[in-house]
Amino acid sequence: MAGILLEMKNITKTFPGVKALDNVNLKVKKGEIHALVGENGAGKSTLMNVLSGIYPYGSYEGDIIYDGEICKFSRIKDSEGKGIVIIHQELALVPEMTIGENMYLGNEQGKRAAIDWNRTYGEADKYLKQVGLAESSRTQIKDIGVGKQQLVEIAKALAKNARLLILDEPTSSLNEADSQALLELLLGFRRQGMTSIIISHKLNEIAYVADKITVIRDGSTIETLDKEEDSFTEDRIIRGMVGRELTDRFPKREQKNIGDAALEVKNWTVHHQVYTDRKVVDNVSMYVRKGEVLGVSGLMGAGRTELAMSIFGRSYGNDISGQLYINGREVELQNVREAIDHRVAYVTEDRKDNGLILSNPIRVNTTLANLQGVSSHGVIDRDKEISVAEEYRIKLKTKCPSVEQNVGNLSGGNQQKVLLAKWMFAEPDVLILDEPTRGIDVGAKYEIYCIINDLVAAGKSVIMISSELPEVLGMSDRIYVMNEGKIVGELDSKEATQENIMGCILKSGKGE
């Protein structure tokens, strides 16, 4: 067998307050397909960013040994110069440019300032043939489908003389046939001696193509499975991914008092905002009861956020159809204002981009969704506003010098509390929490779980969307599992386990 192409030794990467990677080790042999699996947030992408130089040498601990020498990449160009090329999950192509232009973007062919278009397109066509894409390199990117765009990305990587190809969720936006073709292409590359690292949630695909599987969990390498020694069954992989013990990281609720349905949707279908012929939520029927924590589980891109936002005053999606009932009465929520007026709140997963105004103080953020609560006839009562902000600061134990502190200066956990405060002050009956504990530390997580428990104890309904299975299992009374826009399972908290949630997802994936 050939030797080791890449070795990442004891990689540790810390962000302020979080240890994203803790002594991670990865060995990749020449000519193999090495899969990297783990839950969302386990550290796979961080590891690849370290490798490609996005996090430059010096910002992490440990060594990258590539081709027998220690590498000190300070930017992406450095790693690409060595033939390490990453293809990211979100395609980085310019729609208005041709395939050829995209392939050589930042790597233009020609002398000095003048681009040699003949060479560009000639070379591009050669690589396109290699990936089996029957398009002219002069075609514009916007005129070809996502599957073909993915192939262009790979051709682009080849054009950079890739020796180690890293694919981050390459099939997440592809349909079954395109995915299969892509996997075959990778197997073909392997026969020619190319080394690849593939990151994917689709375990069936990984089991099909990979020679080795490294499992990452909570920033550490758990194990590396070898095709020749271990069996690559999905159950075996899942056990590695989720096999952590559940201790009492979740506060107990004293007594449950679950009432009638507070919010219900029937036959809810939502089309993609941009690609309007794609269904992102497909005929979903679901309900949440008063005093209930409803967990919504699923992989990234399963359509959970789209479902929540489309319910929340049609703030996402196109051509939304289906019925929405609040307290048993059918309603139409045309915009966010109407949703808030019907006492529905949506706490966004992306607190920085969609949730908070970072440049404004806590006071302003707290009252933003319910300004009329602190004003009369359109004039804000500053004193009342301050007292409201103070009240929630104390109630949620937000750590800050004062409510005049800009939210941008707070830690992630405290920002999340301000975001929760904002929506609690809007006095909703149904709260949709989208990834409420993403990127915050364990202590703050516990406090947020306590807040959730208080809310349902007060008779409110909480819909909690989360990619962290332990959290869903630990907090929910009932769990829906979503995959590819559909609800593929409904589990009671008593019967739910990590294995059968993953099972629901995999079964539905195979059913296609």
Partner 1 sequence: MEKAKVSAFLKKYTMVIVLIIVTLFFTWKTGGRMLLPQNVNNLISQNAYVFILATGMLLCILTGGNIDLSVGSVVCIVGAVGATCMVNLNMNIFVSILIMLVTGLVVGIWQGFWIAYRRIPPFIVTLAGMLMFRGLSNIVLDGYTIAPMPDNYLMLFNSYIIDFFRGERLNTTCLLAGVLAVVIFVANTLRGRRAKVKKGYAVTSAGSDIIKCAVIGLVIVLFTWRLAQYKGIPNILLWIIIIVLIYGYITSKTTVGRHLYAIGGNEKAAQLSGINTNKVYFLAYANMGLLAAVAGMVTIARLSSASPTAGDGYEMDAIGSCFIGGASAYGGSGTIPGVIIGATLMGVINLGMSIMGVDANWQKVVKGVVLLAAVIFDVESKKRAK
Q: Residue numbers of the site for partner 1 (CB under 8 A)?
A: 312-313, 315, 335-337, 339-340, 346, 348, 353-360, 364, 368-369, 371-372, 375, 378-380, 382-383, 386-387, 402, 404, 408, 422
Closest separation between CB of residue 378 and partner 1, Å? 5
Closest separation between CB of residue 371 and partner 1, Å? 5
Closest separation between CB of residue 421 and partner 1, Å? 13
Phi and psi for 138 in degrees, rounded to 5?
A: -95, 0
Q: Which positions ≥6 away from 505 have C-beta within 8 Å?
A: 298, 299, 302, 481, 483, 488
Closest separation between CB of residue 46 and partner 1, Å? 22
Q: Residue 130 or residue 315: which is nearer to partner 1 going by CB?
A: 315
Closest separation between CB of residue 424 and partner 1, Å? 13
* Residue where the block lists tokens 């002069």: 138
Q: Where are the alpha helices (DSSP H) in 312-381?
A: 336-341, 362-367
The Cα 298–Cα 469 span in angstroms is 9
Nearest 5°: the CA angle 50, 56, 57 is: 90
Phi and psi for 318 in degrees, rounded to 5?
A: -135, 150
Q: Residue 197 or residue 326: which is nearer to partner 1 going by CB?
A: 326
Q: Residue 248 or residue 383: which is nearer to partner 1 going by CB?
A: 383
The H or E element spanning position 153 is helix 146-159
Q: Residue 291 or residue 313: which is nearer to partner 1 going by CB?
A: 313
Q: Residue 401 or residue 511: which is nearer to partner 1 going by CB?
A: 401
Q: Residue 308 or residue 502: which is nearer to partner 1 going by CB?
A: 308
The Cα 103–Cα 120 span in angstroms is 9
Closest separation between CB of residue 456 and partner 1, Å? 23
Closest separation between CB of residue 335 and partner 1, Å? 7
Q: Residue 254 or residue 353: which is nearer to partner 1 going by CB?
A: 353
Q: Residue 340 or residue 504: which is nearer to partner 1 going by CB?
A: 340
DSSP conformation letters of 231-269: ---HHHHHHHHH-----S-SPPPS-----SEEEEEEEEE
Q: Facing residues of 344 across strands?
A: 430
Closest separation between CB of residue 340 and partner 1, Å? 4
Q: Sheet with 486-492: list strands edge to edge.
A: 344-347, 430-434, 461-465, 293-298, 478-483, 486-492
Q: Per-residue b/e over 430-451, b at no fewer than 16 CB within 10 Å?
A: bbbbbbbbbbbeeebbebbbeb
Closest separation between CB of residue 228 and partner 1, Å? 50
Closest separation between CB of residue 431 and partner 1, Å? 14
Closest separation between CB of residue 372 and partner 1, Å? 7
> Are 216 and 44 a contacting pair, CB within 8 Å?
yes
Task: Give the pair of three-digit tokens for residue 268.
Answer: 């809810």
Q: Residue 54 or residue 386: which is nearer to partner 1 going by CB?
A: 386
Q: Residue 12 or residue 375: which is nearer to partner 1 going by CB?
A: 375
Q: What is the DSSP letter of 398?
A: -
Q: Per-residue b/e over 135-161, b at no fewer than 16 CB within 10 Å?
A: eebebebeebeebbbbbbbbbbbbbbe
Other CB atoms within 10 Å distance of the CB of residue 302: 26
- Counting Cβ atoms within 10 Å, is residue 251 exposed (0-12), middle (13-18) or buried (19+)? middle
Q: Residue 348 or residue 461: which is nearer to partner 1 going by CB?
A: 348
**What letter represents residue 345's amino acid?**
A
> Are 183 and 217 a contacting pair, CB within 8 Å?
no
Closest separation between CB of residue 351 and partner 1, Å? 9
- Counting Cβ atoms within 10 Å, is residue 20 exposed (0-12), middle (13-18) or buried (19+)? buried
Q: Residue 256 or residue 399: which is nearer to partner 1 going by CB?
A: 399
